[in-house]
Amino acid sequence: MSQIANQVHGKFKVFAGVLDADNSLGSLAGDVAAFARQKGVAAKSIGIEYLESAGKVIITLGYRDDESGYPISLNCVSLGHVDDLAGDFAALENAMSAASQKQKNIICHELYVTDDREFLMVFMTHNEE
């Protein structure tokens, strides 16, 4: 039986900052997790946009505050460079699958591409207490 009603949400929080030297989210990932923990919200989704012209990344967290919160983490994984994938989406899918095998309790994911054309995948995961 589907539990989709538990995933439906309509509240959002926006975070903005710069990527770390390795193109990961760095301290922004901690900021998102801290917000969820401090506010006691149930995190449901993330959105990520890298703004090349500004050198900034925008993260949106979709959540519910009408159910118990739980601890989350954002984990960033490089999938390789756009040029290496040569338009082969099967290779990208394989890289995504391989990266997901190293994560536990994935809630959702998001992709972004940096100005040096690196694909990165962010997993929002539930941290078991």
The rounded distance, in Å, linking the Cα atoms of 53 and 60 is 19
Calculate the CA 94 to chain-centre distance.
18
The confidence score (pLDDT) of residue 39 equals: 97
Query: Residue 6: which pLDDT band, with cuts at 50, 70 and 90?
Result: confident
SS3 18: coil
Query: Residue 1: which pLDDT band, with cuts at 50, 70 and 90?
Result: very low
**Mean pLDDT, residues 19-42 taken together:** 95
Domain ranges within the chain, ordered by starting residue? 4-126
Higher confidence at residue 85 or residue 66? 66
Which residues, 6 or more positions from 14, have their beta carbon under 8 angstroms from its beta carbon?
A: 58, 59, 60
Type and span of the H or E element at 47? strand 42-51
- pLDDT over 90 for what percent of the chain? 75
Query: Residue 79: which pLDDT band, with cuts at 50, 70 and 90?
Result: very high
Question: Chain-wide mean pLDDT for the chain?
Answer: 92
